[in-house]
Amino acid sequence: MGQLADALAVLNKGAALAAVQTALDAGVDPLDLVDDGRLGMEIVGAQFDRGEVFLMELMRAAQIFQSVVQVLNPRIVATHGATRTHGLVVLGTVAGDIHDLGKNIVKILLECRGVRVIDLGVDVSADRFVEAIREHQPQVVGMSALLTASVSEMNKNVEVFNAAGLRDGVKVIVGGGIVGEIDRRRLKADLATADANAGVRAIVGWIGRED
Partner 1 sequence: MGEVMTPYERVEAAWNLQEADRVPVAPMVIYLLPYRAGLSVKEAIENPERLAQAAIDQSELVGDFIHPALTLLDHQAVLPNSTWDQISIDWRIWEHFPPRGNIPSSYFDKDLIGDYADILERGFASGLFSKRLSKAIFERSVDQWLYYGFDYPRDFWRAWHRFVRETGKMLQMGARALIPFDALISYRTFEGMVEDVIDRPELVKEACRLLGEYEIVGAMRRCMVAGAGEIPGADRIFLGNGLGAPPYVSPAIFDEFVYPYLKMQVDMAVTRGFKVHVHLDGDLTAALETLSHIADGLPQGHVMLDFEKTNMRRAKEVLGDKVCIYGNVPAVLMVYGTAKEVDDYCRKLIQDCAKGGGFILGSECEVPWDARPENVRAMIAAASLYGRY
> What is the binding site for partner 1 (CB under 8 A)?
11, 13, 53-57, 59-60, 63, 95-101, 104, 122-123, 146-149, 151, 178, 181-183, 186
**Nearest distance from C-beta of residue 168 to partner 1, angstroms:** 29
What residues have CB less than 8 Å from 88, skipping those under 6 apart? 115, 116, 117, 118, 136, 137, 138, 139, 140
**Nearest distance from C-beta of residue 165 to partner 1, angstroms:** 28
DSSP secondary structure string for all residues of 95-153: TT----HHHHHHHHHHHHTT-EEEE--SSB-HHHHHHHHHHH--SEEEEE--STTHHHH
Q: How far is CA 135 from CA 77, 118, 166, in A?
A: 27, 11, 12
Q: Is 42 exposed, middle or buried (CB count within 10 Å of its CB: 0-12, 13-18, 19+)? A: middle
**Nearest distance from C-beta of residue 122 to partner 1, angstroms:** 8
**Nearest distance from C-beta of residue 161 to partner 1, angstroms:** 21
**Nearest distance from C-beta of residue 185 to partner 1, angstroms:** 11
Q: Which of 123, 130, 129 is nearest to 94 (CA)?
A: 123
DSSP designation for 94: B
Cβ closest to partner 1, residue 99 vs residue 171: 99
Plot region of 191 (φ>0 → left; ψ -120 to 50 → alpha; else → beta): beta
**Nearest distance from C-beta of residue 86 to partner 1, angstroms:** 24
